[in-house]
Amino acid sequence: MARIVQKYGGTSVGDVERIKKVAERIKATRDEGHELVVVVSARSGVTNELIARAKAVCEFPSERELDMLLATGEQETIALTAMALHGIGVDAVSYTGAQAGIFTDKVHTKAKIKTINAKPIEQDLKTGKVVIVAGFQGINDDGQITTLGRGGSDLTAIALAAAVKADKCEIYTDVDGVYTADPRVVKNARKLEEISYDEMLELASLGSKVMQTRSVEFAKKYNVVFEVRSSFNHNPGTIVKEEVAYMEKVVVRGVAVDKDQAKVIVSNVRDKPGSAAKVFRALADANVNVDMIVQNTGRQGLANLTFTVPQTEAARAVRALDPVLAAVGGGQVTVHEHVAKLSVVGVGMRTHSGVAATLFQALADAGINIDLISTSEIKISIVLDLDRADEAARVAHAVFNLDKA
Ligand code: ADP
Ligand code: ASP
Ligand code: MG
């Protein structure tokens, strides 16, 4: 007998027929004698729909009320999943995040999990119940409902797996596992048998939305090994785990594309100590997540500062910079939304050289222009024109032979 945490994503519980299929899968695992905690997302599309409705009634909805609203998406699917289980004779109970003892900080819409009181769940598991928990939500110390950021059901599952000391954590989704690139974009992308936390973390944060970034951070911190697999078939998935020595033999593990980026240029700032500090302090104070930063020195002691931000934060960045422009010597802010970020990731880059040269040559041969570049130990990212992003992903995938094992 093992203790297993399973998470079913939005497509997997997308309608009542699929919820019934998920219930059958849960029953099969339960029938093998395992203890089971199941995390479910809202039906696919529901969270987006709820956000759109919030914006339709109020341009800037209160984040507390937004969390109140968004949490309903998962509340629907936990109840339906529990009912579907009852319908096939499985004892099950549904819990909201609060009922499951998931305590978070107070940051509405992207709360962090602080602690989990797993006692109620443990009690139910002892009596043989399957426990169904609403993903993506928790409660803060003031008793307010919070949500954990988009894709946050992954985090719920991984945090619960750590809290109940699960033997296994399985993330069921609409693809067979983690691929060398988004299989919807790169047709010959290959499913990986395993991938290290660090590689998964980079891929996730660079745009591969198959796993929520923070859930992978959490898994790494608490050493939760998990498997990403399909809820529509029984193929083995991808194991995400601590790096092992042979993983460095592969130079590039995967390619990620992020199309939700905007490029911001602050032009004609005084090329003096303190200018960059003022610009980025203002952005930090406004909670803008700045990523790639490039500074070009121009003429007459003036420089341009270019950086990328998530598209949803571009307007906030512009607003935050307005008051500091005078202090850095005038200048203007322009935003370019027609950009994307392409990245190649692999722990093997630590020990292999020439990766950047190979990537840049392949892009050049395809006539794809590189706008910005940034590198770290295990990744190379470039910013390019949005229209060429998918093609660039295929070019990068091909030049590193990622379709071959
Ligand atoms: P869920 O609703 O189950 O959480 P998501 O839509 O959040 O599912 O994530 C699954 C999707 O992630 C897939 O349908 C796929 O298009 C996309 N994806 C992006 N990059 C990758 C990748 N490298 N491997 C697998 N899937 C990827
Ligand atoms: N329903 C939430 C979202 O769409 C959480 C999740 O699906 O993981 O972001
Ligand atoms: Mg997801």
Does the C-beta of 153 come closer than 6 Å to ligand 2?
yes
The structure tokens 């660039």 sit at 392
Q: Is residue 337 part of a domain?
A: no
Q: Is residue 351 part of a domain?
A: no
Percent of the chain clearing pLDDT 70 (strictly above): 100
Say if residue 215 is exposed, middle or buried (CB neighbours under 10 Å; 0-12, 13-18, 19+).
buried
Predicted confidence band of residue 329 (pLDDT cuts 50, 70, 90): confident
Ligand 3 mean position to 245 CA, how many Å?
Answer: 29
Q: Is residue 91 part of a domain?
A: yes
Q: Calculate helix-pair angle for 389-399, 355-365, nearest 10 degrees.
A: 130
**What does the pLDDT look like over 84-114, one tens digit per residue?**
999 999 999 999 999 999 999 999 999 999 9
Tell which atom from ligand 2 comes closest to the C-alpha of 42. 1
**What does the pLDDT look like over 129-144, one tens digit per residue?**
999 999 999 999 999 9
Ligand 2 mean position to 40 CA, how many Å?
Answer: 9
Which residues keep their CB under 5 angstroms from ion ligand 3? 9, 151
Does the C-beta of 101 come closer than 6 Å to ligand 2?
no
Q: Which domain does 97 fall in, by range? A: 3-174
- Please check the confidence at residue 60 and state whether its pLDDT lies above 90: no
Q: Is residue 331 part of a domain?
A: no
Q: In the predicted model, what is the mean pLDDT of residues 354-373?
A: 97
At 201, the amino acid letter reads: L
Entry pTM: 0.94
> Cα(329)–Cα(296) distance, rounded to whole angstroms?
16
Q: In the predicted model, what is the mean pLDDT of residues 184-202?
A: 97
- Please check the confidence at residue 20 and state whether its pLDDT lies above 80: yes
Q: Under a CB-based contact definition with an 8 Å cutoff, are residues 139 and 98 in contact? A: yes
In the chain, how many domains are there?
1
The structure tokens 């993983």 sit at 247
Q: Is residue 279 part of a domain?
A: no
Site to probe by mutation for ligand 1, drawn from 173, 211, 216 as the one with most ligand atoms within 8 Å of Cβ, is 173
- Closest to 124 in 3D by CA, of 171, 152, 85, 154: 85
Percent of the chain clearing pLDDT 90 (strictly above): 94
- Please check the confidence at residue 320 and state whether its pLDDT lies above 90: yes
Q: In the predicted model, what is the mean pLDDT of residues 353-378?
A: 96
Predicted confidence band of residue 301 (pLDDT cuts 50, 70, 90): confident
- Closest to 151 in 3D by CA, of 171, 131, 132: 171
Predicted confidence band of residue 234 (pLDDT cuts 50, 70, 90): very high
Ligand 1 mean position to 238 CA, how many Å?
Answer: 13
Ligand 3 mean position to 154 CA, how many Å?
Answer: 7
Q: Under a CB-based contact definition with an 8 Å cutoff, are residues 382 and 372 in contact? A: yes
Mean pLDDT taken over the chain: 96
Reduced to 3 states (helix: H, G, I; strand: E, B; else coil), residue 223 is coil
Closest-CA residue, ligand 1 atom 25, reads 178
Q: In the predicted model, what is the mean pLDDT of residues 36-46?
A: 98
**pLDDT recorded at residue 248:** 87
Q: In the predicted model, what is the mean pLDDT of residues 254-267?
A: 97
Closest-CA residue, ligand 1 atom 12, reads 210
Tell which atom from ligand 2 comes closest to the C-alpha of 151. 8
Q: Is residue 99 part of a domain?
A: yes
- Please check the confidence at residue 299 and state whether its pLDDT lies above 80: no
219-223, 300-304, 317-321: least confident range: 300-304
Ligand 2 mean position to 205 CA, how many Å?
Answer: 16
Closest-CA residue, ligand 2 atom 6, reads 151
Q: H-helix or E-strand containing 281? A: helix 275-285
Q: Calculate helix-pair angle for 213-221, 153-163, nearest 10 degrees.
A: 10
* Structure token pair of residue 64: 């507390």
59-63, 66-70, 82-86, 119-123: least confident range: 59-63
**pLDDT recorded at residue 300:** 83
Closest-CA residue, ligand 1 atom 21, reads 182
Q: Is residue 13 part of a domain?
A: yes
Site to probe by mutation for ligand 1, drawn from 41, 182, 192 as the one with most ligand atoms within 8 Å of Cβ, is 182
CATH number, domain of 88, equals 3.40.1160.10
Closest-CA residue, ligand 1 atom 5, reads 210
- Please check the confidence at residue 126 and state whether its pLDDT lies above 80: yes
Q: In the predicted model, what is the mean pLDDT of residues 145-165?
A: 98
Does the C-beta of 179 come closer than 6 Å to ligand 1?
yes
Does the C-beta of 331 come closer than 6 Å to ligand 2?
no
Q: Under a CB-based contact definition with an 8 Å cutoff, are residues 386 and 338 in contact? A: yes
Predicted confidence band of residue 297 (pLDDT cuts 50, 70, 90): confident
Site to probe by mutation for ligand 1, drawn from 21, 209, 342 as the one with most ligand atoms within 8 Å of Cβ, is 209
Ligand 1 mean position to 295 CA, how many Å?
Answer: 34
Q: Is residue 158 part of a domain?
A: yes
**pLDDT recorded at residue 366:** 98
Site to probe by mutation for ligand 2, drawn from 47, 78, 155 as the one with most ligand atoms within 8 Å of Cβ, is 47
Q: How many CB atoms lie within 10 A of CB 22?
A: 24
Strand partners of residue 383:
341, 372
Phi, psi of 162 (to 5 degrees): -70, -45
**pLDDT recorded at residue 156:** 98
Q: Under a CB-based contact definition with an 8 Å cutoff, are residues 309 and 210 in contact? A: no
Q: In the predicted model, what is the mean pLDDT of residues 168-172?
A: 98
